Structure 1
Amino acid sequence: MTAPPPGLRLRALAPGDLGWVISRNGALYAAECGWDETYEARVAEVLSTYVVNRDPARADGWIAELDGERAGAVFCSPREGDVAQLRMLHVEPFARGAGVGAALIDACLTFARQAGYREIALWTTALQRAAIRLYERAGFRLTTEDPPVRRFGDVIHGQLWTRPL
């Protein structure tokens, strides 16, 4: 891990953060990928399940703040057995390239290791090239790629990435 950028703080979730994550994911993926409202609904579903089923010993989430402004988020939750899942990573455009994404991924990996998981996985799409570079630098490897499907108002190529802990 490299040193976090000056002015970066990772913190626990606070009231209003889940709504912000849902809203920002919906807006960013609409603007950057052309995805429709079904993606925002999926984010809301994932985060609702996270909150309702959360065991603090096995799941956590972080908000990144850069110079006091929310700059991104990530969640870690159980996938199956002793496999964790990194979920909903996003970094605001103003914070990209400043080390925010790497710091969020590192927080997720550290938590998963300490929680006793043996492996961590994440699902993304082939469109997310910048995020994929971060995942590769963090030691993730492409495990499987789904055939193209119509989802979120677009044709996407889902990918499963994994890494041992």
Structure 2
Amino acid sequence: MTKLIRKLGTPGDLGWVVQSHAEIYAAEYGWGLPYEVLITQIVSAYGAEHDDEREAAWIAEVDGERAGSIFCVRGPDEATAQLRLLLVTPAARGLGLGAELVDTCLAFARGAGYKRMVLWTNEPLVAARHVYLSRGFRLTGSEPHELWGQSLVGQTYEIDL
């Protein structure tokens, strides 16, 4: 088995990120079209406007097939990066790709001069939360919401870089 983390940029990568998030989160959590719209907006904004020096995205591959993603984008201020769209496909879980993607994202953010990183996730995403906490992220806020037709608790995590 060959694992690879590469920069996003191969034709089809952006569409794969949207489709994979939409299909996996629908199957696992019942999140429907409103969630897919959010992912589409995030991916579209990145594709149209990202700054190569301060923002990047990566695709994880296993044996040449896409198996995960993560994005590092500018946060609410110049000192803050935002981690977005961490995903590992069900078939690739347990291979350490989530941790490798987060480590890649953190290293890029440090190299780009950010002082902290934030992320927003939802309570049911236990495996991702485990990766975040093991890397030093701390929970800084939580708030109930019903953005995708379900009662959820959104969570904000931060780490100083």
TM-score bracket relative to the smaller structure: over 0.9
Q: Which residue of 2 aligns with 1:163?
A: 159
Alpha-carbon distance between aligned partners in 1 of 2:123 and 2:145, rounded to the nearest angstrom? 12
Deviations 1:52-82 (A, max 9, x none): 2211000000000012111100000000221
Q: Which residue of 1 aligns with 2:91?
A: 94
- Give the paired residue count: 159
Contact 2:14 2:47 survives alignment (8 Å): no
- Please say if 1:54 is aligned against 2:60: no
Give unpaired runs (5+ residues) of structure 1. Answer: 1-5
Q: Which residue of 2 aligns with 1:8?
A: 3
Deviation at 1:135, TM superposition (A): 0.5
Partner secondary structure for residue 124 of structure 1:
strand
Deviation at 1:129, TM superposition (A): 0.7
TM-score (norm 1): 0.94
Deviation at 1:153, TM superposition (A): 1.7
Stretches (4+) displaced over 6 A: none
RMSD over aligned Cα, in angstroms? 0.9
State, as a whole percentage, how many aligned pairs show the same letter.
45
Alpha-carbon distance between aligned partners in 2 of 1:10 and 1:149, rounded to the nearest angstrom? 33
Q: Tell me which amino acid in the other structure corresponds to 1:129.
A: V
TM-score (norm 2): 0.96
Alpha-carbon distance between aligned partners in 1 of 2:98 and 2:54, rounded to the nearest angstrom? 21
Q: Which residue of 2 aligns with 1:103?
A: 100
Deviations 1:88-112 (A, max 9, x none): 0000001111100000001100000
Q: Tell me which amino acid in the other structure corresponds to 2:100.
A: A
Partner secondary structure for residue 151 of structure 1:
coil
Partner secondary structure for residue 43 of structure 2:
helix
Alpha-carbon distance between aligned partners in 1 of 2:151 and 2:49, rounded to the nearest angstrom? 31
Q: Tell me which amino acid in the other structure corresponds to 1:26.
A: A
Q: Which residue of 1 aligns with 2:74?
A: 78
- Selected match of 1:25 from 21, 28, 33: 21
Q: Which residue of 2 aligns with 1:43?
A: 39
Q: Tell me which amino acid in the other structure corresponds to 1:85.
A: Q
Partner secondary structure for residue 45 of structure 1:
helix
Alpha-carbon distance between aligned partners in 1 of 2:45 and 2:52, rounded to the nearest angstrom? 14
